[in-house]
Amino acid sequence: MSGEPQPRRGRFWATLIQFIKFGIVGGSGVVVNLIIAYVMTQLNGGVGNDNNVIFQLPGRFAFRFTILVWIVAFLVANLWNFQLNRSWTFKRDRMRGWWAEFWPFFLVGAVAAAAGAIIKVLLTNPTSPLYLPSPWFNDHQGLRARAYWAQLFTIVLTMPINYLVNKVWTFRAIKNKDADPDPTPHAEISGVA
C-alpha cells in the first residue's frame, strides 16, 4: 500500500472527474456554438452573405453579419456551458448564487469573445493577411465553407483564454475549498464509507 493518504487520492480522482466533465461540457458548447452559427448563416441566405454589412462603424469599419453570428453563438453557448458546469460539473462545490457565479463566467467568456471577434474578422476578411485561403476554403456551402471553419478555429484559439481565466478567477472558490477539504466528499468519491 502506498504512503499516500486516502483524502489526497480522493481529491485527485474528484479533480480528474471534474476536469473530464468540464471538457464534455466545453465540447457540447462548441457543438451548440456551431449549430447557432449554421442556423443563423442559413437564415441569412448562406455563407456567401456572411460578410454583409449590417451597419457602418466610424471610419472604414462596419459591423458585419459574421460578427453578429459570433456574438449570438457566444451568448447561447456561454449560457449553455455555465448552466451545465453549474448543475453538473461543479454541483457539489457550488458556494454562491446563480447570478454571483454567472457574471464572472460571462465576463471571462466576453473577453474571450471580444478577442474571438477580432480573430474571426481576420480569418474571413479578404483584405486580411490571415484570410483563410482558397481553394481550401470557400464562400459556398459545404465542408469547406470559410465562415464555419473561421468559427471553429476562433473557438479553438480563444479556448485557452477562457479556461485559464475561469480556473484562476471564476472558480477560485473551488480551489480555496480544496485547501481546507471536508473529508466526507473524498470518502464518498474514493468508495470508502
Q: pLDDT (tens digit, 9 = 90+) per residue, 177-193?
A: 444 444 434 333 333 33
What range does the domain containing 75 cover? 31-190
* Mean pLDDT within 116-143: 84
Residue 141: its pLDDT value, please? 67
Instruction: Measure Cα distances from 29 to 13, 32, 107, 109, 155 in Å.
Output: 24, 5, 17, 12, 10
* Percent of the chain topping pLDDT 90: 19
The verdict on residue 9 lying in a domain is no
Cβ contacts of residue 53 below 8 Å, gap of 6+?
62, 63, 64, 65
The verdict on residue 100 lying in a domain is yes
The verdict on residue 11 lying in a domain is no
Tell me the three state secondary structure of residue 124.
helix
The verdict on residue 102 lying in a domain is yes
The verdict on residue 5 lying in a domain is no
Cβ contacts of residue 179 below 8 Å, gap of 6+?
none
The verdict on residue 137 lying in a domain is yes
Between 166 and 129, where is the model more confident? Answer: 129
Total domains in the fold of the chain: 1
Band of pLDDT at residue 6, cut at 50, 70 and 90 = low
The verdict on residue 45 lying in a domain is yes
Is the pLDDT assigned to residue 124 strictly greater than 80? yes
Query: How does DSSP classify residue 141?
Result: S
Tell me the three state secondary structure of residue 144.
coil
Between 189 and 52, where is the model more confident? Answer: 52
Burial per residue of 70-103, b for 16 or more beta-carbon CB atoms within 10 angstroms, e otherwise: bbebbbbbbbbbbebbbeebbeebeeeeeeebbe
Band of pLDDT at residue 93, cut at 50, 70 and 90 = low
* Mean pLDDT within 101-106: 87
Cβ contacts of residue 39 below 8 Å, gap of 6+?
none
Closest CA to 37 of 156, 189, 148: 148
Is the pLDDT assigned to residue 4 strictly greater than 60? no
CA dihedral 96, 98, 99, 105 (to 10 degrees): 90
Residue 151: its pLDDT value, please? 84
Contact 50, 70 (CB under 8 A): no
pTM of the predicted model as reported, rounded to 2 decimal places: 0.70
Closest CA to 164 of 100, 122, 115: 115
The verdict on residue 72 lying in a domain is yes
Q: How many helices (H) does the chain have, and how many strands (E)?
A: 6, 2
